[in-house]
Structure 1
C-alpha cells in the first residue's frame, strides 16, 4: 500500500525520493539516498536493511541493474520485496517479487523511476513519472512533490494514506531536504505545505553548517 519514486536533477546533481503509504513512519523505512551516489527504495513487506545494502553496492561501482540483482540474490525473502534503484548516472532498475500484491507497477523515465503496490490501479506509477518529467526546470523537491500529488490524483493506493516523506541529498553528508508527515489525514497536502515553508530556508541551513560566518539568520 505504498507509492514512491526516485528522481535525479542532472543540473544540480541532487538525488531525491518521495513516498506515501497507509502506515506510520514511511520516511524511516523506504527511501535511502547518498549524495553523489544514487538511491534505493525498498517496500511492500519492507526490509529497510536493503536500503543501506543497496547504497553499498552502488558505492562499490555497481550499476542500478547490478545492484538490484545483487539485492535480490542476497535475501531469501525476495518474493515479498519491491525494490527500485537509481545509480549516479541516473540509470534505474526495479524488482517486483512474486508475492507483491496488486495492483502494482513501475514506470521508468529520464532520471526517474516510480513504483507502487496495492494501488487503486496500475496507472499510478506512470502518472507520477509523467508529472516529474513535466516539471523539468523546477527544483528537484518540487518535482517529487508534484509526482506524489499526481499519483494520488491517478487513484493512489487501495485505501487512505496517512504518512509521507520527502528526502533530497546534494553535496553534503546530511540531507538537503528531509521532511516527514505521520498519522495525518491528507499527508500529501501536509507535505506540500512543509516543503513550501522549507524551500526558501534550505540553502540557509546548509550555509549554517559549511560557512557559519556568512550564514543567514533564519
Structure 2
C-alpha cells in the first residue's frame, strides 16, 4: 500500500525521498534521513524503528548493504517488512520479506532506489527510477518527478490518500519536510508537489534564518520587515 523513491544528489550530497500510500500520514512513519549519513524507508507492515536503526548503523561506518544485512538478521518479524536505504557513498540496499502485501517490486538506479507494495503492477518502481534518472533540476524537483511518475505508471492498486517529501542537507534538521497526511477526493501527490513549488524558492532563507538570522531576508510578514 505504498510506493517510494530514495535518492542521493551527487552534486550537493543531499539525501531525500518521496512516498505515497493509501494509508494516512505515510511519511510520518516511513521516511527517515540524516545529513551526511543516508536515507532509509521502512514500509509495508511498517516498523518505524527500523529506519533510524539503519541510519545509526550507516553513521557508525557500515555500508548500506552491511546495515541492511544486520537489520534483516536481527529485527523481529522481518518477513513482513520492506526496507530501502542509501548510504553516504550512494550505495543502495533493499529487503522485501516473504509476507509483503500484494504485487510488489523494487528497482535501483544511479544514486536512487525505489520500492512498493500493493502496486497496480510490478513496473511502478522502475518507472520511478527511470523518471528520476531522466529528470533535471534540484533534488526536490527530481523527487517530485519520480513520485508523479509512480502515480502515472499506475501507483497503488487503489487510491492514495497521503504523501510526503523529506530532504536533508548539512544540518541536523530536514531542509524540507512536506506532507499531506490525508485527503479523500484529491491527489496528495499534487498537494506535496504544490507545497514544494511554494517552499523551494524560500528554503535557502529558512536555512539561513536558523544558521544566522542577521543575514536572513524577510518575506514581508507583519512585524518582520
After TM superposition, the score normalised by the length of structure 2 is 0.95
Structure 1 residue 70 displacement after superposition: 0.8
> Which whole-Å deviations, capped at 9, do the CAs of 1:176-198 have from their partners, x for residues lacking one?
11000021121011111110000
Q: Separation in 2 of the partners of 1:92 and 1:52?
A: 16
For residues 103-182 of structure 1, the aligned pairs below 5 Å read 103-136=103-136, 138-182=137-181
Structure 1 segments, 4+ long, off by >4 Å, are none
Q: Per the alignment, in what secondary structure is the counterpart of residue 119 of structure 1? A: coil
Q: Per the alignment, in what secondary structure is the counterpart of residue 128 of structure 2? A: helix
2:191 corresponds to: 190
> Which whole-Å deviations, capped at 9, do the CAs of 1:85-141 have from their partners, x for residues lacking one?
1000011010010000231111100000000001000010000001111114x1001
1:207 corresponds to: 208
> Which whole-Å deviations, capped at 9, do the CAs of 1:8-43 have from their partners, x for residues lacking one?
111111000100001111111111100011011100
> Which whole-Å deviations, capped at 9, do the CAs of 1:147-188 have from their partners, x for residues lacking one?
000000000001000000000000011111100002112101
> Which whole-Å deviations, capped at 9, do the CAs of 1:67-96 have from their partners, x for residues lacking one?
111111121200100000100001101001
Q: Separation in 2 of the partners of 1:63 and 1:52?
A: 15
What number of residue pairs does the alignment pair up?
217
Q: Per the alignment, in what secondary structure is the counterpart of residue 90 of structure 1? A: coil
Q: Per the alignment, in what secondary structure is the counterpart of residue 20 of structure 2? A: strand
> Which whole-Å deviations, capped at 9, do the CAs of 1:34-78 have from their partners, x for residues lacking one?
001101110000000001111111011111111111111121200
1:66 corresponds to: 66
1:30 corresponds to: 30
Q: Per the alignment, in what secondary structure is the counterpart of residue 52 of structure 1? A: helix
**Unpaired runs of at least 5, structure 1:** none
Across the aligned residues of Structure 1 and Structure 2, the Cα RMSD in angstroms comes to: 0.7
Q: Per the alignment, in what secondary structure is the counterpart of residue 155 of structure 2? A: coil
Whichever of the two has the greater Rg, that structure is: 2
1:40 corresponds to: 40
After TM superposition, the score normalised by the length of structure 1 is 0.98
Q: Separation in 2 of the partners of 1:23 and 1:101?
A: 13
